[in-house]
Amino acid sequence: MSMREVFHRPEALADVATHYCPGCDHGIVHRLVAEAIDELGVRDSTIGVAPVGCAVFAYNYWSVDMVQAAHGRAPAVATGIKRVRPNDTVFTYQGDGDLAAIGTAEIVHAAARRENITVIFINNSVYGMTSGQMAPTTLLGQVTTTTPGGRDPQRHGFPIRVTELLNALEGPVYLARTAVNTPKNLNVTKKAIRAAFECQIKGQGFSLVEVLSTCPSAWGLNPVECVGWLENNLIPHYPLGVVREPAATPKEEVAVGAR
Amino acid sequence: MKILMEGNEAIAEAAVRAGCRAYFGYPITPQTQIIEYLAKRMPEVGGVVLQAESEVASINMVYGAAAAGARVMTSSSSPGISLMCEGLSYLAGAELPCLIVNVMRAGPGLGGILPSQADYWQATRGGGHGGYRSLVLAPSSVQECVDLMKLGFDKADEYRNPVLILADGLLGQMMEPVELPELCETSSANKPWAATGLHGRSHHNIINSLDTVPERLERHCLHLEDKYRQIASAEVRHETFGDSDARVVVVAYGTVARIVRSAVERARAEGMKVAMVRPISLWPFPSVGIDEASKAAERMLVVEMNAGQMVDDVRLAVHDRVPVRFYGRQGGMVCSVREVFEQIVALYKEVPEYVHA
Ligand SMILES: Cc1ncc(C[n+]2csc(CCOP(=O)(O)OP(=O)(O)O)c2C)c(N)n1
Ligand code: SF4
């Protein structure tokens, strides 16, 4: 009997167990990043930057050279790496607290400089690592440990749409928001991550993929319920699609259906 | 051949000559000339200069470039260094070599743009969290700025540790003749630990300061402690001047040391037995040198452009065996030779009473 391999570990994914909770999307996105690195043949020349957040141990999960950055500073760290090693592929992997709260200045300016790096941005609408506080992406009404009565715009302000915010800048070359809730969207995310890395490899400049992700632990839902919550709440507020591509003019939006 | 150069520009040129090919910084008086000079100079040697969005970003860019094996630096002045302290702690924790220049200005807060030495505690005690050390070098002339830049970069690489050049605003702005060293190149090839991309290497390098296993983190801390002990024993630098049997010993660093030296010379010319010690490394502190220079001393005087910071280290150095007095000016005010001379005279007059009391 012959066996057909249907699933294998990408070379860029280290052969170690991750610490993520069951049903967490971090692991899925790690895999997609590894597949893109393998397919583009850049594993040997890639340097990744890990954030502070649940993905802090990501330096162990990819079999490429890795640098751990202070909370929110990954785009600045990646800039330093890229500027002295312009021929290598440099990416950051950041959560929404890391990227859109404490690291807002660093991401905005890396994007504005058209820094030739790739950013994988995990938007799970909460601080996972510190167990479920409000994030800059927390939806209005959403209950977190620091918004026990739900996020109230009067007191806590409004959620930030990072992809749209960065789309107001001239700098970015590729901006997309995706999700990994269905097999189809998994493929879309994979394509987007690949396209983002390709921008960098071609020397075109700053690329970012925002991936809407689940956090079963902080959301207090099981993995299946999480998918439903993401579809009913996150996606409507954070529309999926590629909003900036190398060929497109800065303001042009390419609408892609939500699912 | 000597050429006339302003301190800030000499620091910048010395960095290039020392093989530094990456600079990240944010403008702040009184050291903005460093980034302006390098903006023109770095491209000539194929180096990188980037004006960051903040000092927080600059130091993290330095962290990235250092992680990738580059000889890299930043420079700033007091308020900017405060913002860099988080990054400094990470650099020390991840054992990344880099050089940071602080051309100090008066504080606290926004303070003023005129010279000061009020960041001594911040520099020598770490500044950031977690209990780490940086090698701190304090030049007192433009030539010494040049010399300490090369030394600083070399020591940073040798110990895989941040090195701080602590200068004051006077040094940054003053013009003096300097002898510049030859231009040299460095490469990341001798940094096998660096995150340079695999390029054929079989294991992946990880630059990191996190360890959630306390036994391992303690081992890392002990390793750092051991390294700091090595630095403390091998990298003390100071200069002594004056009488070996001095009754009054004055301690000062940076430009203040030049003023103090003139005052000491004048006191000696008037027949007083006086000496001075000028720490060049502020950490490690030349405690032994100060202790030895003060064997016969009956009074010590510490002169600083602050409210008294190094004075604590001098007291520790002499184990409070000798009364240690302090004279300081603040807010950008610089002491004069006459002021220091009068302090020496006053102390000298105190001595007999003290001895016979
Ligand atoms: C300077 C600093 N402030 C706060 C923290 C604590 N902290 C660790 S992770 C985190 C939030 C991370 O949330 P996010 O970026 O959304 O990532 P997730 O854990 O959800 O993947 C915080 C506040 C820290 N490590 N450093
Ligand atoms: S806390 Fe949330 S984001 Fe963190 S690992 Fe668990 S599910 Fe994932």
pLDDT tens digits, one per residue of B91-139 = 999 999 999 999 999 999 999 999 999 999 999 998 999 999 999 999 9
pLDDT tens digits, one per residue of A116-165 = 999 999 999 999 999 999 999 999 999 999 999 999 999 999 999 999 99
Give residue A96's region: left, alpha or beta (phi > 0; psi -120 to 50). alpha
Last-in-domain residue among B219, B234, B249: B234
Ligand 2 mean position to A29 CA, how many Å?
13
Q: Which atom of ligand 1 is nearest to the CA of A54?
A: 19
CB atoms within 10 A of CB B190: 9
Q: Are residues B262 and B323 in the same domain?
A: yes
Query: pLDDT grade, residue A254 (50/70/90)?
Result: very low
- For residue A180, pLDDT beyond 90: yes
pLDDT for residue A144:
97
DSSP B181: P
Q: Are residues B230 and B253 in the same domain?
A: no
Asked if residue B292 is part of any domain, the answer here is yes
Q: For residue A237, with 0-12 CB atoms within 10 Å meaning exposed, 13-18 middle and 19 or more buried, which class applies?
A: middle
Distance in angstroms (rounded) separating the CA atoms of residues B36 and A168: 30
Q: Are residues B219 and B250 in the same domain?
A: no
Range of the domain at B334: 240-348
> What kind and span of H or E run contains B337?
helix B337-356
Q: Are residues B125 and B245 in the same domain?
A: no
pLDDT for residue B353:
52
Query: pLDDT grade, residue B354 (50/70/90)?
Result: very low
Counting ligands in written order, the one closest to the CA of A125 is: 1
pLDDT for residue A248:
52
Nearest-CA distance from B204 to chain A in Å? 5
Query: pLDDT grade, residue A5 (50/70/90)?
Result: confident
Burial profile A179-188: b = 16 or more Cβ within 10 angstroms, e = fewer: bbbeeebbeb
Spacing of C-alpha B288 from chain mean position? 19
From chain A, pick out residues whose CB is under 8 angstroms from the CB of B58.
Answer: 76
Pick from B119, B60, B126, B115: nearest CA to B92: B126
Which CATH number goes with the domain that contains B183? 3.40.50.970
Tell me what percent of the residues of chain B surpass a pLDDT of 90. 95
Cβ atoms of A178 and A160 within 8 Å: the answer is: no
Mean per-residue pLDDT for B201-230?
A: 98
Contact A47 B48 (CB under 8 A): no
pLDDT for residue B351:
74
Domains defined along chain A, listed by start: 26-258 (3.40.50.970)
Cβ atoms of A152 and A164 within 8 Å: the answer is: no
- Alpha helices, H only, chain A: 26-39, 74-84, 96-97, 104-112, 153-156, 162-167, 183-201, 216-219, 223-229, 235-237
Predicted TM-score (pTM) of this structure: 0.96
Mean per-residue pLDDT for A22-35?
A: 97
Asked if residue B357 is part of any domain, the answer here is no
pLDDT for residue A2:
64
Answer whether A105 touches B (CB < 8 Å): yes
B68, B94, B207 member nearest A84 (Cβ): B68
Pick from B115, B111, B55, B106: nearest CA to B80: B55
pLDDT for residue A251:
47
pLDDT for residue B97:
98
From chain A, pick out residues whose CB is under 8 angstroms from the CB of B209.
Answer: 68
Helix (H, G, I), strand (E, B) or coil at A209: strand
Q: For residue A102, with 0-12 CB atoms within 10 Å meaning exposed, 13-18 middle and 19 or more buried, which class applies?
A: middle
pLDDT for residue A252:
44
Asked if residue B199 is part of any domain, the answer here is yes
Strands lying side by side in the sheet with A65-68: A241-244, A174-179, A207-212, A118-123, A89-95, A46-50, A65-68, B206-207
Distance in angstroms (rounded) separating the CA atoms of residues A196 and A174: 6
Q: Are residues B169 and B124 in the same domain?
A: yes
pLDDT tens digits, one per residue of B13-50 = 999 999 999 999 999 999 999 999 999 999 999 999 99
Mean per-residue pLDDT for A169-198?
A: 98
pLDDT for residue B189:
84
Helices and strands, number each (H, E), in chain B = 12, 15
Asked if residue B355 is part of any domain, the answer here is no
Q: How far is CA A237 from CA A90, A230, B285, in A?
A: 30, 10, 58
Nearest-CA distance from B343 to chain A in Å? 47
Distance in angstroms (rounded) separating the CA atoms of residues A215 and A29: 13
Nearest-CA distance from A72 to chain B in Å? 10
Cβ atoms of A180 and A188 within 8 Å: the answer is: no
Disruptive mutation site among A77, A98, A129, A201 for chain B (greatest number of B CBs within 10 Å)? A77
**% helix, strand, coil for chain B, step of 5:** 45, 20, 35
Q: Are residues B165 and B250 in the same domain?
A: no
pLDDT for residue B355:
46
Q: Are residues B266 and B192 in the same domain?
A: no
Nearest chain B residue to A83 by CA: give it.
B48
Q: Are residues B145 and B10 in the same domain?
A: yes
Give residue B69's region: left, alpha or beta (phi > 0; psi -120 to 50). left
Last-in-domain residue among B206, B234, B262: B234
Cβ atoms of A123 and A142 within 8 Å: the answer is: no
Q: Which amino acid appears at position B61 of this protein?
A: M
Q: Which atom of ligand 1 is nearest to the CA of A94?
A: 15
Mean per-residue pLDDT for A232-247?
A: 96
Mean per-residue pLDDT for B68-95?
A: 98
DSSP A133: E
Last-in-domain residue among B184, B206, B234: B234
Asked if residue B209 is part of any domain, the answer here is yes
pLDDT tens digits, one per residue of A39-65 = 999 999 999 999 999 999 999 999 999
Q: Are residues B108 and B54 in the same domain?
A: yes
Tell me what percent of the residues of chain A surpass a pLDDT of 70. 95
Tell me what percent of the residues of chain B surpass a pLDDT of 70. 98
Distance in angstroms (rounded) separating the CA atoms of residues B124 and B310: 9
User: Which string of DSSP letters, residue by residue, matches A67-114?
Assistant: EE--TT-HHHHHHHHHHH-TTSEEEEEEEHHIIIIITHHHHHHHHHTT
Q: Are residues B215 and B292 in the same domain?
A: no
pLDDT for residue A6:
72
pLDDT for residue A74:
98
Distance in angstroms (rounded) separating the CA atoms of residues A69 and A107: 13
Asked if residue B336 is part of any domain, the answer here is yes
Which CATH number goes with the domain that contains B305? 3.40.50.920
Q: Going by C-beta distance under 8 Å and a sequence separation of 6 or more, which residues neighbour residue B295?
A: none
Q: Which atom of ligand 1 is nearest to the CA of A55?
A: 21
Supply A126's token pair: 């909460």
Distance in angstroms (rounded) separating the CA atoms of residues A48 and B89: 21
Asked if residue B353 is part of any domain, the answer here is no
B48, B64, B197 member nearest A46 (Cβ): B197
Q: Which amino acid appears at position B261 of this protein?
A: R
Nearest chain A residue to B203 by CA: give it.
A63
Nearest-CA distance from B241 to chain A in Å? 43
pLDDT tens digits, one per residue of B278-320 = 999 999 999 999 999 999 999 999 999 999 999 999 999 999 9
Spacing of C-alpha B48 from chain mean position? 24
pLDDT tens digits, one per residue of A203-220 = 999 999 999 999 999 999
Answer whether B67 touches A (CB < 8 Å): yes
- For residue B245, pLDDT beyond 60: yes
A60, A80, A109 member nearest B64 (Cβ): A80
The count of domains in chain B is 2
Distance in angstroms (rounded) separating the CA atoms of residues A209 and A249: 18
Q: Are residues B268 and B214 in the same domain?
A: no
B288, HSE (Cβ side, Cα atoms, 13 Å): 7
Q: Are residues B43 and B79 in the same domain?
A: yes
Pick from A66, A71, A77: nearest CA to A16: A66
